[in-house]
Amino acid sequence: MQTIYHKHHIIPKHMGGTDALDNIVLLTIKEHAEAHRVLYEKYGSKFDYIAYMALSNQISAGEASYLKLFGPKKWSEEGLAVLRETGKNRIREKNGFYGKHHSEETKKILREKMSGDNSWIKGINPSDLPYTKKYEITYPDGTKKIVAGLKAIAIEFKVSITNVYATISRIKNKKFPSRGVFAGVIIQEVE
């Protein structure tokens, strides 16, 4: 039986790690799970905990994706207990799919559904995602509006996301726009 290796980021991407070769090491699946468990215990990131649970077959890839998007940023002890207990009930023989395999036709359908424009994330409102920043737009007439993400602002003002980011940076430095589409507009991140 051939050993399967995973690429593991020594400094995880969620902590600012890069894809540089000196930040990647090859690990077996078991070693990869253990590496994320150790990172979780040291730093407490939910992403490492989810990776550990998924790599050790305690939760499915779908559950991991859901938890990354909608799970809490930090796990409470009660939340961890529930996640551990749920994981125990889904391993090996307790998992209804254990020992079974998808047909090639099913794999093809799943690949098509999970890629590109058919991605499962399509249709999710960015404001529903816990990590999407919220911004308050104050218009020249004094009306205010809360939006989620830079893309929403870019669409509303018909400019690039880069332009929005630069404008917000200037506003943070008390340099308010006096011309163009943002003239008289104030955009601030909502805490």
Q: What is the pLDDT of residues 64-116, one digit of tens each?
A: 877 776 666 666 777 777 767 766 666 677 766 677 788 888 877 766 665 55
> Domain boundaries in the chain?
5-98, 126-190
Q: What is the pTM of this model?
A: 0.42
- Is residue 125 very low, low, confident or very high in pLDDT (cuts 50, 70, 90)? low
Residue showing tokens 């559950």: 63
> What percent of the chain shows pLDDT beyond 70?
78
| 28, β-bridge pairs | 5
Q: What is the CATH number of domain 126-190?
A: 1.10.10.10
- Is residue 138 very low, low, confident or very high in pLDDT (cuts 50, 70, 90)? very high
pLDDT tens profile 5-42: 888 888 888 777 788 888 888 888 889 989 888 888 88
One-letter amino acid identity for 78? E
pLDDT recorded at residue 140: 93
Encode burial over 124-154: b for 16+ CB neighbours within 10 A, e otherwise: eebeeeeebeebebeeeeeeeeebbbbebbb
Cβ neighbours for 190, distance < 8 A, ≥ 6 positions apart: 133, 134, 135, 136, 146
Q: Closest Cα partner for 182 from 132, 140, 130?
A: 140
One-letter amino acid identity for 123? G
Higher pLDDT, 44 or 30: 30
Around Cβ 64, how many Cβ atoms within 10 Å?
19
Mean pLDDT score of the chain, rounded to an integer?
Answer: 80
Encode burial over 18-46: b for 16+ CB neighbours within 10 A, e otherwise: eeeeeeeeebeeeebbebbbebbeeeebb
Encode burial over 86-121: b for 16+ CB neighbours within 10 A, e otherwise: ebeebeeeeeeeeeeeeeeeeeeeeeeeeeeeeeee
Range with lowest mean pLDDT among 14-18, 89-93, 128-132, 162-166? 128-132
